């Protein structure tokens, strides 16, 4: 029987990104069977797969860890003892079943061989027939003996073949990964993510960029309720929210209070558009202020542990200080950590800007309202081109971090143009992504005109209409770039823009 793996698990085993697997599939190098790939195909495309971790995969995980702070301070590298024991028991049971099935198949093969030998002997013992009949009988007996010998030879060849050894090695690594983490497949969306260490299902989903419904994240509101379709879970903490008896019978649980023991299938609603997210008001605090060159301030805002902001990458939020001034700003961080939010603010004459640059201090309260806007990632895997104009890098940064987190886009290219004499304030972040991700390119520009930008795009990209474009910055500049792309043949449906004026 062909061994099949989900795309996410295949990517982990091969030490590549999920987007890389999808690219191979689109180019016809691998086949899919109901959204899964065969181990034999994986080994053919990645023959060097071994039990050792791939450096590329480790670098990708490292950049994710550095880009997105954890939403809690617990040690989540290893599962709890109870979860580890349960996973090992489940794998042992699966191994016993697999061994029993193999032994049964081997016994069946021996019985078939024995039956073939008996039939060959019976055919050879016939006497008194005509010479022609004896010749035919002898030929049939020899054919049966040849078939029996072929079965034995084939059995030996399969047991000793390098392909079988490589598959065994891959399955061994898969078993190890299943001890360290469990995969969760969402129904009906089909999205898949991994629960690592001692984190809850909800924490793992948010870290992976999924837009599940949740509220307090501490077991009080019941907003993160989901139905367990298959698999085994372990309760990490008690919760105050009371499930009805009918809900318990149907398999409902709170994802904030449970972790995955084995691979799971969960039925839960996900937000598919900005309209699916409710407006939230959260009492947060200023965690840190980082002045930058050119009159720019990085504003770090932290929400309470029990009330994180649900938003989509590229959206905005309104910040209101205790003494009244407020301003709506793009969120410059990934939704995978809705508790630690980053905003960029350019110094100006308005009351909010003056307060931030002159009087606001860390730990000062701030009221957070949002999210707003529909400048979000499309649910697509084509290569993405991000064009940031000036301070438009803020929402673009959020989009890119989220795209890296969900690992579904084939390739990224960031073009960032700033007016002279400004600097590219997030350039270290851009360089880190470029050095870490093989499919990420960064082109810094200064006062780039539309014609120059179009010439760069045509030089760097194989075909302009085959990409998706995300453009953010001052309104007039964004409109000019959008018009240039449309004139170059890019469909309107492949362009998303955010005007920051």
DSSP annotation of 53 reads P
Q: What are phi and psi of 373, to 5 degrees?
A: 100, 155
Joined tokens for residue 501: 């004026």
pLDDT of residue 145: 76
The Cα 255–Cα 236 span in angstroms is 10
List, for the chain, all residue ranges whose pLDDT scores fall below the cut of 70: 1-2, 34, 48-78, 81, 87, 90-92, 94-96, 98-99, 123-135, 154-179
Give a three-class secondary structure readout of 250-264.
HCEEECCCEEECCCE
CA 321 – CA 40 distance, rounded (Å): 59
Q: What is the pLDDT of residue 144?
A: 73
Tokens of 486: 């449309």
Torsion of CA 230, 232, 234, 238, to 10 degrees: 40
Residue 359, token pair as written in the block? 């009087």
Are 218 and 306 contacting, i.e. CB atoms less than 8 angstroms apart?
yes
Contacts of 88 (CB under 8 A, 6+ apart): 179
Query: What pLDDT is recorded for position 174?
Result: 64
Compute φ and ψ for 297, nearest 5 degrees. Answer: -125, 130
Please write the tens of the pLDDT for every residue from 316-331.
999 999 888 999 999 9
Distances (CA, A) of 379 to 142, 189, 376: 61, 11, 9
If residue 500 lies in a helix (H) or strand (E), which one and from where to where? Answer: none
CA end-to-end span of the chain: 60
Q: What are the tokens at 497? A: 């823009």
Paired with 327 in beta bridges are 319
Q: pLDDT at position 216, please?
A: 77
Q: Positive or negative CA dihedral for 485, 488, 492, 494?
A: negative
d(CA 389, CA 387): 7
Question: What confidence score (pLDDT) does residue 361 get?
Answer: 93
Report the C-alpha gap between 374 and 358 in whole angstroms: 32
Long-range contacts of 248-251 (CB under 8 A, 24+ apart): 251/227
User: DSSP 3-state assignment of 187?
Assistant: strand
Separation CA 185–CA 110 (nearest Å) = 40
SS3 (DSSP) at 220 = coil
């Amino acid at each position: 029987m062909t061994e099949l793996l989900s795309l996410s698990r295949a990517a982990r085993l091969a030490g590549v990104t999920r987007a890389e697997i999808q690219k191979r599939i689109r180019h016809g190098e691998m086949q899919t069977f109901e959204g899964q790939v065969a181990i034999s195909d994986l080994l053919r495309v990645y023959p060097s797969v071994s039990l050792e971790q791939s450096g590329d995969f480790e670098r990708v995980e490292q950049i994710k860890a550095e880009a997105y702070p954890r939403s809690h301070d617990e040690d989540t590298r290893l599962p709890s003892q109870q979860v580890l024991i349960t996973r090992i028991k489940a794998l042992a049971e699966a191994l016993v079943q697999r061994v029993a099935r193999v032994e049964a198949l081997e016994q069946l093969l021996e019985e078939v061989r024995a039956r073939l030998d008996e039939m060959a002997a019976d055919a050879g013992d016939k006497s008194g027939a005509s010479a022609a009949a004896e010749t035919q009988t002898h030929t049939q007996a020899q054919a049966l003996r040849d078939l029996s010998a072929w079965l034995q030879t084939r059995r030996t060849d399969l047991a000793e073949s390098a392909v079988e050894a490589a598959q065994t090695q891959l399955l061994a690594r898969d078993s190890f990964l299943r001890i360290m983490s469990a995969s969760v497949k969402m129904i009906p969306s089909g999205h898949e993510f991994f629960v690592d260490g001692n984190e809850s299902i909800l924490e793992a989903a948010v870290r992976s960029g999924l837009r599940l419904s949740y509220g307090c994240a501490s077991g009080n509101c019941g907003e993160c309720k989901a139905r367990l379709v298959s698999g085994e879970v372990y309760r990490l903490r008690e919760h105050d929210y009371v499930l009805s008896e009918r809900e318990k019978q149907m398999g409902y649980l709170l994802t904030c209070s449970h972790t995955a023991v084995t691979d799971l299938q969960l039925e839960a609603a996900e937000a598919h558009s900005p309209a699916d997210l409710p407006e939230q008001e959260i009492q947060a605090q200023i965690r840190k202020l980082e002045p930058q060159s050119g009159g720019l301030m990085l504003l770090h805002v932290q929400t309470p542990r029990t009330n994180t902001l649900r938003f989509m990458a590229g959206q905005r939020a309104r910040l209101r200080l205790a003494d009244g001034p407020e301003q709506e700003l793009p969120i410059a961080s990934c939704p995978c950590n809705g508790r630690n939010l980053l905003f960029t603010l350019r110094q100006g004459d308005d009351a909010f800007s003056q307060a931030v640059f002159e009087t606001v201090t860390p730990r000062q309260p701030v009221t957070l309202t949002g999210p707003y806007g529909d400048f979000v990632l499309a649910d697509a895997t084509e290569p993405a081109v991000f064009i940031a104009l000036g301070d438009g890098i803020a929402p673009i940064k959020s989009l890119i971090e989220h795209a890296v987190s969900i690992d579904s886009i084939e390739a990224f290219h960031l073009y960032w143009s700033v007016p002279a004499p400004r600097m590219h304030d997030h350039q270290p972040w851009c360089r880190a992504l470029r050095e870490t991700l093989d499919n990420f390119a960064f082109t810094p520009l200064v006062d780039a005109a539309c014609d120059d930008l179009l010439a760069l795009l045509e030089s760097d990209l194989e075909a302009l209409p085959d990409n998706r474009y995300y453009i953010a910055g001052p309104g007039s500049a964004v409109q000019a770039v959008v018009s240039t792309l449309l004139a170059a043949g890019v469909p309107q449906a492949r362009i998303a823009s955010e005007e920051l004026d």
